[in-house]
Structure 1
Amino acid sequence: MQKSSIITQCPSCETQFRVTPGQLKVANGQVRCGACLVIFCAIEHELKPKAAEQVPPPKVTTRKDETTNTFNKLDLDLNLTTETPSTEKSVDTARSLPIKGQEELIKTVAPADVPTLTIETEPVVLNRSTNNGTSSPWWFIGCVLAALTLIAQHLWFNRGDLYWTHTYRPLYDTVCQHIDCNIPTRVDTAKITNQQFLIRPHSEIADAITIDLVLINEANHNQPYPALHIAFSDLKGRPVASRTLQPESYLDRSAVNLKSMPTHQPIQISLDLMSPGMRGINYQLELLAPAL
């Protein structure tokens, strides 16, 4: 009768195992000792029945380090030693671990026998400064200087508009005393209206006329007085006479600032001109930007 299994002995630790033909077939007879993990040929170290009777009781080894790796623990748990082969019932059904059969044995192990991997969370540091805050004051000073530079550039390049506002006027007046600001004049003749245009003969000079005007600056800022362009034409619209008067021609420089016409205040102007004759019966007044 053919045997269903053989008994082999580890050449290293002399531990005896019972190996089935199926286990021998998986790894071509190569097995791993469950005690010392030595790989050997089971057929070459097979114990005959007589030799097995003379073999002293097997050594039972216990591994101290059970957490070295998963395969070591599995080998230790599945290690079943055999006693003397005097009776087949006394021999434990110990099995070796074939090399290629380890994956099947791993699946049969209870989940409680497999050590649990514990992962501890740690805070993630995105960036860590190595200068210990030594450069922070200089960084703050640099930001302040950059901000002041941007503000100064805005005030300088927009001085033509900001100067005429009441908020920035004192600042520009103070600074412009030390440097030449060359502030451009703000002129908006569309905001200057004529409330009266009256022509009458001159009271003292013959062939002369007097023109009375009332100008109002409706802008929110002061601006130069406008130039006055007066034109006369006949019944058919053909020009008869015209003249353009600059502010210094109809205003007294000593009494009036020619570049600062007050806002929302009527300004009365009286002009003495030569009469255009009997043909100049139509007239027109146009307010122009002054030649400063």
Structure 2
Amino acid sequence: MYTQCPDCRTVFSLDAGVLAHARGAVICGNCETLFDALDTLADQLPPEPFRLLPGNARSEEAPRLEVAVYRPREDVPVAEPAPAVPAFTPRFVHERRAARKRPRRWPWVLTCALLALLLAAQVAWAKRGALIADPAIGSWLRQACATLGCRLPLVRDVRHLHLVARDVQAHPSVPGALMISATVRNDAPFAQPYPVVSLTLSDADGHRLAMRRLHPSEYLDDAAALRAGLAPGASAAVLIEVADPGKRAVAFEFGFE
């Protein structure tokens, strides 16, 4: 026979002994709900798929039993009633108690926490430039690194690079060449890598006559300074040698990349 929990809809198999033990009252081994197994008692399960077992209508009038499968002879003494069956727990309650002995969950919780921290570290590394450049977060990171003795990666932000001095003159030792010097200052609160410097020479009408781009290694031969970058508030001198485009070149412009 079968019955179904009205709360979680779990279907259980049971026998007459379980029903007689508490007159149909049973406890669901899945959700601990106390219910009357007689409400949905069925001999067979309906064809799948099904969600609910059909309910049994209750009546105040006791049904009359007509189909007898055994009737004792009148001359045979009636046997004494059998001793009460010892109380027992339904099988699905035993299954519920066994299910409570589950393995510990803390290893899974710890693993998930470590994976979440690893993911956060990867996102922070991918966004390190924006985090270091942020005034609040960058200041906290610099203080933390100063305490721990670590070093933040260099972040490039040319908006904080400013040209504070520049000059152009004939090359003192190379005929037909110009020597152009400039001084760039880092006004960011963090160290920056030395920029790529672009120089553009123009005529009086603003037409470009010549242009040159110099990478940091082309105007700075100090490897240690290149690795350290341009410190906050520090300045660097840039010296560029170019061929003299003639008298048409009357203006020059610096850019940083």
Q: Which has the higher helix share?
A: 2
Look at both structures and tell me which one has the larger radius of gyration over its CA atoms: 1
Tell me the TM-score normalized by structure 1: 0.43
**TM-score normalized by structure 2?**
0.49
